[in-house]
Amino acid sequence: MIDRVEVYVKGGDGGNGIVSFRREKFVPFGGPNGGKGGDGGSVYLVGDVSIATLRGFRYRKHFRAAKGAHGRGQDMVGKRGEDLQVKVPLGTLVRRKQEDGSGTLLVDVVEHGQRVLVAKGGRGGFGNAHFASSTNQAPRIAEKGDPGEETRLLLDLKLIADVGIIGYPNAGKSTLLRTVSNAKPKVADYPFTTLEPVLGVVELGYRSFVLADIPGLIEGAHRGLGLGFDFLRHIERTKIVIHLVDGSSEAPLSDLRKVGEELVAYEAALKDKPRIIAVNKVDLPEVRDRLPRLRREFKGLGVPLYFISAASGEGVEELMKKTLELVSQADSVPPVKKEEAEFKVFRPRPLSPRRAAHSEEKHGGI
């Protein structure tokens, strides 16, 4: 999956002004009529809900807006360059790259149609008509257009989903997503079948939520092992986490703890995210035989616990109902109010006694 790219953007250069004079046959003292150059187009990033990844930036990483046209005689202004709108998926963090390689956050694109100006077009130069005056009636100077802004941007995609399914490879995450939604992720019996997050919409009655299949995490993922931190970032935006555990594993509880430790090692705040534990593959005879022991091991974690079979659908409906309940609770929590920005207020200072007396004398008092 392409979810972190560097792109170059440049606003269009402004058109040049022109030196021109009126030369009609019966117009004496025609004077200057050189027009202004057109402004260059600007580059905008636009959020688009129909785009899921940054894959489109794999082969095209340079974006330039159109230049402004040059001015012409008869006071004609050059045509403005067209703006360039570059579509990006929702959840894209836009950073301006610095000389040391770091990035300064500009904006977080989270709404469809959100437009972000990233490179402003240059101003068109004035023609000689602009410089005419009573003392300089025939100026022979004109301005060149200003160059457009240019910069390098770091685009970092973090998927926006209500719920994320996490767990070891082959725990059954993709199968669960196929069972509860219309998404069709690839399902196979080898590790790391899912190489990029897949989104699906779960509908329960008249309500729904977005579920994301996060590729398998292993011990050391926060250091880049396995699929690494490239996919850990996608968990940050989810409201709820479904931790899917392979019930046929030799040590299911150990698997659960290791993945949890990876999340905390990557971002400590993830430990406070609401979660549900779902032990999968209870349709297998060996897992069903060990259910009493599994119940005892997981009971003391203080987290909602479900035993399911993503393949047969056993227990899945109850799991989704509980997930929707937690999503609704998360939606009902009011957002934390940010501290109001401090604005500088200018207040006039009182007049000195001498100036106050002079003012009353001049205006006749109040």
pLDDT in tens, 108-153: 898 889 999 999 999 999 999 999 998 898 899 999 999 999 999 9
Domain range enclosing 13:
4-157
Q: Parallel, antiparallel, or unpaired: how do β-strands 103-109 and 92-97 relate?
A: antiparallel
Domain assignment present for 259: yes
Do 307 and 279 touch, CB atoms closer than 8 A? Answer: yes
CATH number of the structural domain spanning residue 88: 2.70.210.12
Quote the pLDDT of residue 87.
93
Residues 66, 184 share a domain: no
CATH number of the structural domain spanning residue 286: 3.40.50.300
Using alpha carbons only, how large is the chain's radius of gyration in Å?
A: 31
Domain assignment present for 43: yes
Residues 224, 139 share a domain: no
Go through 305-333 and write b for each residue having 16 or more CB atoms within 10 A of its CB, e for each that does not: bbbbbbbeeebbeebbebbbebbeebeee
Range in 1-5, 132-136, 305-309 the model is least confident about: 1-5
Residues 169, 150 share a domain: no
Q: How far from chain centre, in Å, is Cα 296?
A: 43
Confidence of residue 355 (pLDDT cuts 50, 70, 90): low
CA distances to 135, 138, 139, 231, 278 from 20, in Å? 18, 10, 9, 60, 78
Quote the pLDDT of residue 68.
95
Confidence of residue 86 (pLDDT cuts 50, 70, 90): very high
Residues 306, 234 share a domain: yes
Q: How much is the mean pLDDT over the chain? A: 80
Residues 278, 173 share a domain: yes
Rounded (to 5) percent helix, strand, coil in the chain: 25, 25, 55
Query: Which one has a higher pLDDT value, 99 or 332?
Result: 99
Residues 313, 170 share a domain: yes
Other CB atoms within 10 A of residue 68 CB: 31
Q: Residue 32 pairs with which residues in a beta bridge?
A: 21
6: pLDDT strictly greater than 50: yes
Residues 178, 326 share a domain: yes
Residues 168, 153 share a domain: no
Residues 167, 151 share a domain: no
Q: Which of 157, 185, 217 is the last residue of a domain?
A: 157
Domain assignment present for 56: yes
Residues 170, 103 share a domain: no
Q: What is the pTM for the complete model shown?
A: 0.63
The closest alpha carbon to 15, from 140, 146, 130, belongs to 146
Residues 256, 137 share a domain: no
